Amino acid sequence: MSKTILVTGGAGFIGSAVVRHLINDTDHTVVNLDKLTYAGNLESLTSVSDNARYRFEQVDICDAEEVKRVFSLHQPDIIMHLAAESHVDRSIDGPGEFIQTNVVGTYTLLEQARAYWSVLEGEKKDGFKFHHISTDEVYGDLPHPDEVAPGTELPLFTETTPYAPSSPYSASKASSDQLVRSWLRTYKLPTLVTNCSNNYGPFHFPEKLIPLVILNALAGKPLPVYGKGNQIRDWLYVEDHARALVLVALEGEIGETYNIGGHNEKQNIEVVQTICSILDEVKPKESKYAEQITYVQDRPGHDMRYAIDANKIERELGWRPQETFESGIRKTVEWYLNNETWWKAVQDGSYQGERLGTAS
Among all residues, which ones are annotated catalytic?
136-137, 169
SS3 of the chain: the string is CCCEEEEECCCCHHHHHHHHHHHHHCCCEEEEEECCCCCCCHHHHCCCCCCCCEEEEECCCCCHHHHHHHHHHHCCCEEEECCCCCCHHHHHHCHHHHHHHHHHHHHHHHHHHHHHHHCCCHHHHHCCEEEEEEEHHHHCCCCCHHHCCCCCCCCCECCCCCCCCCCHHHHHHHHHHHHHHHHHHHHCCCEEEEEECEEECCCCCCCCHHHHHHHHHHHCCCEEEECCCCCEEEEEEHHHHHHHHHHHHHHCCCCCEEEECCCCEEEHHHHHHHHHHHHHHHCCCCCCHHHHEEEECCCCCCCCECCECCHHHHHHHCCCCCCCHHHHHHHHHHHHHHCHHHHHHHHHCCCCCCCCCCCC
